[in-house]
Chains A and B, each alone.
Chain A
Amino acid sequence: MEALLFTQGLNVVFEALILAMLVLGLAVVMGLLNVLNIAHGEFIMIGAYAAYIVQRAGLPYLLAIPAAALVCGVIGLVVERCLIRPLHYEPFETLLATWGLGLLLRKCVELGFGRGYRSVDIPIGGSVSLFGESYPTYRLVLMLVAVLVLASLFVWYRRAPTGARIRAMVGNPVLAEAVGIRTRELARNTFITGTALAGVAGVMVAPLTPVEPFMGLTFIVNSFFALVVGGMGTVSGLFAGATIIGGLQSVLSAAVSPTSAYIAMLLISILFLWQRPRGLFPRP
């Protein structure tokens, strides 16, 4: 029984961390730029396909990370130029435009790769024994990476000048422009960072899930919930949201039943959104 509890505990942490990684790109784009990028899941999907191609080519899996970041970054660049900027980063307008974009990206990938499932082999196989219980190595590595990424992001956003500039731009774009921050470039780069991060998340989850053109749709809804429940534009918010949405569902799923857990997660999200409409840790 303790063994089961221990594994389930790790599962809860794993789900929260993985969700945080999946949300990260969206958190950057939506939390900082107020762009409701509904095509976020499609960038994750493209990242996963990049991982598939890299693995099929017999290249080391780590190469998939820069590859996915590059592909998704370039698509992000084009999208920013052709869709997001012409719509002046307006939340509702970009929501609609990226809905069309998501459909387009799904069909384009389908055109190239077909509709069938692709499988990406686990790059680090085997399991590690922790206190007598074995847990898959790749999942442990993912958890470690997620923690490192989130921690360094936290530090970077607080310390680095770019972080300060983004905060300034978000707080007051006109003033930021006046003090010499090139908001247009900064917004573009922030957007590209968001899409590239989605691609990297895709590489991370590709070995765990079926890789197919519609896989992004399964990520997007939970990502939005995690982001809004947690609070946009802060690292603590991202973490809190992922823990509540991902972790809670995992706990309830183990304790009650997966369907009830899912419904309960939705209802609890409604409660949080009601009582804390700006999220648990909103941007001040």
Chain B
Amino acid sequence: MAYFLVRSILILAFLILIPPLLGEFWAYQLGLYFIYGLAALGVGLTWGQAGILPLGQGMFVAIAAYLTAHGLLAFGSSPIAYLALPAASVIVAVLAFAFAALVFRGRFEQGPSFSLMTLALTLAAFQVANGWSSVTGGFNGLRNIPGLPGLDGFLDLYYLIAILLGLSIAAVDYLVHAPIGVLWRAIADNERRLAFLGYDVAVIKAVAFAVASGLAGLAGALYAPQQNLVTPDLAGFAFSGDLVIFAAVGGRATVLGPVIGAVVVGVLSAELRDRFPWWEIGIALFFIVVVLRLPGGLMTLFAPLQRFSFARTTIRARSAAPGKPRIATSLSVAFEDVRVRVGDVTILDGLSVRTGEEAVLCVIGPNGAGKTSTLNVMTGMLPRRGGRIVIDGADVLRPEPAIVANKGVARKFQTPSVFPKLTIDENLAVALWAGRWRGFDLLRLGLFGWTSPLLEEMRGRFQFLHDGTRPASALSHGERQILELTMALITEPRMLLLDEPCAGLSHEETAAVIDAIQWARGELNLRIIIIEHDMELVRRLADRVVVLHQGRFLADGSVEEVQCNPEVRAVYVGGSR
């Protein structure tokens, strides 16, 4: 926290000292680029943190600028005019949140479609701004916008812009390092995993987009009094593109990068523009070199300064995570005549099966039997074409990963699904927070100190989990399997879905994992459904075995019973195991 304050104060002091050092023109010029920097800061937040590339942030700048312009025109020299700034910023943030939450709802998509939607929006906004002359002044712009009351000349406004930029940087810096920031990076890393932990991914993404748009709105709100003119070109593709370029050049993964990008690219263009007729070739080459040689942007050059950053390596006092309300009984699930087709391929062909009294249910069957698909359709990753899925006695009409997870179902995938770019501690923390955070907890740094008895038990069993600052990408395959299992367990589910949990583990690891599973099952009164090929494992774990074949239920019973079942034997003849 101390580092954070020191850094924020240093930045603010630097910004305020610029005009006396560089003069009035630079105050005006930098004021403009700081406004762009504010909007770029938001682009960096959504793109660099949450992995969502917005191509139309200019639209939010423009809307806020027009709103502020009308506010200033209406209230003139009354101090009420100052309210136009936060109001415009909040209005566009709310608009952005509504749009994003609607679009992100119920889907995982990191493809270009959202980016293109924002691009289409800004292109349309440009035409509207151009045509709606009575409100926007049309192509020539809304002019004669008064400045903010009490602020005379370039310098006064510069200080306001600088202070707001400094505060915004501090706020983003804080957010990025708060639990919500970890969740944003988790989304960029592995959105599906986050949903399977029970998070409402759409809302978390929409919050990132709303914060970014709020910053764009603040930029627009300052643009109107700085320029005294708002023209549709703010909503043009070129400006939105520039904001992305600023973030890319400066370093989108860092907080300061986009602002530095805006200033560097802006000043460079302005200085070259009037001196060299072919300056754009220089800019293009500069840009290509940055992309090729400095993929992290210009901020890579400042990497040695990173230790001044608001580091979370400081040991945080451990505190007990709030307990989850537990229901003593384990969760039941029933499939009734479930059908799944993808294209022309029938995957589940009227599957009916239900859990019984057993604690560990193993699902076996030859390849293509529909084992993993059963788990997928139950957790909403495959659309159902017919039948019913009943979880905990309630019909699940539209299963979605987060909904199912919040009913108490945790899932571990066949290939380990963790957040590779996050550290071990962050991976565990994200899982631990799931279902436990309330209200504004995700803004509290104290959450990083949370722990639970279950987590400590797992740490005791698996030593590598202590090495919390290692990124998950540095772990071995087996370690990642164990990390994911731990993440699934510490959500304290009522049902655990395991897809070949021991694949790729050494003998020792397998033994330790089985031991941990057995322990957790007793501790949590947990129902476990395991998909497994390894009959040795099945024999050791299963209370009951269900055999699937060609998308249908074939047989069930104890291990011995199914092994003696002629139908099962027929299916496995010539097959493996």
Contacts and interface: CB of A to CB of B under 8 A. Distances in A.
Touch A–B, Cβ below 8 Å: yes
A97 B288 contact: yes
Contact of A270 (B112, B117, B241, B281): B117
A221 B123 contact: yes
B270 interface: no
A139 B113 CA distance: 32
Interface in B358-378: none
Nearest to B121: A270
Contacts of A267: 120, 124
Given A225-B116, A284-B343, A93 B131 contact: no
Interface residues of B, number: 36
A235 to B, nearest CB: 17
A165 B131 CA distance: 50
Given A221-B123, A270-B121, A273-B117, A93 B295 contact: yes
B285 interface: yes
B120 A99 contact: no
A239 interface: no
Interface stretch (A58-66, A100-108, A167-175): A100-108
Given A100-B287, A263-B128, A274-B103, A269 B343 contact: no
A263 B127 contact: yes
Q: Which interface class (under 10, 10 to 19, 20 to 34, 35 or more) fits A?
A: 20 to 34
Given A93-B295, A96-B248, A259-B127, A104 B288 contact: yes
A3 interface: no
**Most-contacted residue by chain A among B121, B278, B291, B295 (CB, 10 A):** B291
Nearest to A282: B111
A279 B111 CA distance: 11
Contacts of B284: 100-101, 103-104, 107
A221 B240 CA distance: 13
B212 interface: no
B120 A270 contact: yes
Nearest to B131: A259
A277 B107 contact: yes
The A interface is mostly helix, strand or loop, or mixed, namely helix
A185 B53 CA distance: 30
B292 interface: yes
A99 B241 contact: yes
Interface string A147-176: 000000000000000000000000000000
A75 interface: no
A181 B245 CA distance: 36
Interface in A239-284: 259, 262-263, 266-267, 269-270, 273-274, 277-278, 284
Contacts of B109: 277-278
Nearest to B285: A104
Given A108-B281, A228-B113, A266-B123, 4 more contacts: A83-B292, A86-B292, A92-B53, A107-B284
Interface of B: 53, 102-103, 107, 109, 111-114, 116-117, 119-121, 123-124, 127-128, 131, 237, 241, 244-245, 248, 278, 280-281, 283-285, 287-288, 291-292, 295, 343
Q: 4 nearest interchain CB pairs?
A: A100-B287, A104-B284, A103-B284, A277-B113
